[in-house]
Structure 1
Amino acid sequence: MNDHTQSDHTRSDHTARHPLGAWRTRPETAEDAAAVHAVHAAAFETGAEADLVDALRADPDAWLPGLSQVAEAPDGSVAAHALLTRCRVDGAPALALAPVGVLPGHQRTGAGSAVVRAVLDAARVRGERLVLVLGHPAYYPRFGFRPASAYGIRPGFAVPDDAMMALVLEGSGGSGPLPRGTIEYPAVFGV
């Protein structure tokens, strides 16, 4: 269960309980860049995801203020990170959730779930409507993701149907039909 406190439209803090204490989530700050890089470098086999975050941060067409969220461990250190950046579906705006990383010592404690919920809530506050993720089909449905193909959305490359997922952000104020077609990622994704 998350407690949600919102002080303004660009900042939201969440607290999620886990066995080791509470996860506090908040928007990434400039001072967090090195810690965020370290999270992804430790969480993944290569440095590609850490480098991807750095490249997205430098891309003004992809980077959206407030949609890079961190989860702090009880000692205040950054334990997890989730990022939403601008992508498009046949020209219509959408968001790409990638990457999501958790330091190995904090995995399976709720840090990842807390930071994903925080970044999705921040997207709702911004009035965003559609989030896409290429991820583990056993993990992301807990947040409401379902196969993107159910919405007529597909990536421009071959992936298993159940791994490419979409989430329509209810209550975000969006209206009209969802875009259908091919996902267009920022160039730094390399796809």
Structure 2
Amino acid sequence: MTLIWVPALDRPDLLAEPVALAVRQMEEEVRVAEIDPDLADTAAFCDEYGVAMDASANCVVVAAKRGGEVRYAACMVLATTRADVNGVVRKRLDARKTSFAPMDDAVSLTGMEYGGITPLGLPDDWPILVDSRVAAHPSVIVGSGVRRSKLALSGAVLAGLKTAEVLDLAN
């Protein structure tokens, strides 16, 4: 299958509402392509559309706990790596325990579909921890907030988001 990339603002129907709002406020180029929603999971997407795994980045929502308080954050890592949630992420978030956020929490807190969650449009108080390999990528493919499309943008755009911080996240 072939991906047809267009400016994201030309196809707001392919974006979750919080993502569309975020893209409208950005000056950087963000492109969107419609995909088969059954192929939204990274490995299936990359295989079907001929995209290299190291050109695709995943957004992982983590729950950080300390003293009965739960805080959320997003981690951006290339599909070829895994976020060091129990090491680097836990220390950065000053948490006693970190884990992947339950799917229902991630969906309700972000206003996005599971399997399409992206750092664009996340709650304003969430840290966005961007792996240095993602930040250095000239064009990376990420979720669009819905399973029926993907976004393409530079890693520098992700690293420049208001609450973003670039770290070496992958283990």
Q: TM-score range by the shorter chain?
A: 0.3 to 0.5
- Structure with greater proportional strand content: 1
Q: TM-score, normalised by structure 2?
A: 0.34
Structure showing greater radius of gyration is 1
Higher RCO (C-alpha under 8 Å, 6+ residues apart): 2
